[in-house]
Amino acid sequence: DQQVKQNSPSLSVQEGRISILNCDYTNSMFDYFLWYKKYPAEGPTFLISISSIKDKNEDGRFTVFLNKSAKHLSLHIVPSQPGDSAVYFCAASGYGSARQLTFGSGTQLTVLP
Question: Minimum distance from CB of 38 to other proteins (Å)?
Answer: 9
Paired strand residues for 100: none
Could you give the dihedral angle defined by the CA atoms of residues 74, 86, 58 and 50, in that order, rounded to the nearest 10 degrees? 60
Among 8, 68, 72, 103, binds other proteins (CB under 8 A): 103
Torsion-angle region of residue 16: left (phi > 0), alpha (psi -120 to 50) or beta?
Answer: left
Query: Binding to other proteins by residue 105, rule CB under 8 A?
Result: yes
Closest approach, Cβ 48 to other proteins, in A, equals 9
**Least distance (Å) from other proteins to the CB of residue 16?**
28
From the CB of 71, what's the least distance to other proteins, in Å?
17
Q: How many chain residues interact with other proteins (CB under 8 A)? A: 25
Q: Does 53 bind other proteins (CB under 8 A)?
A: no
Handedness of CA 35, 28, 24, 104 (dihedral sign): positive
Handedness of CA 55, 98, 22, 4 (dihedral sign): negative
| Residue 68, amino acid | K
| Residues making contact with other proteins (CB under 8 A) | 31-32, 34, 36, 41-46, 49, 51, 89, 91, 93, 97-106
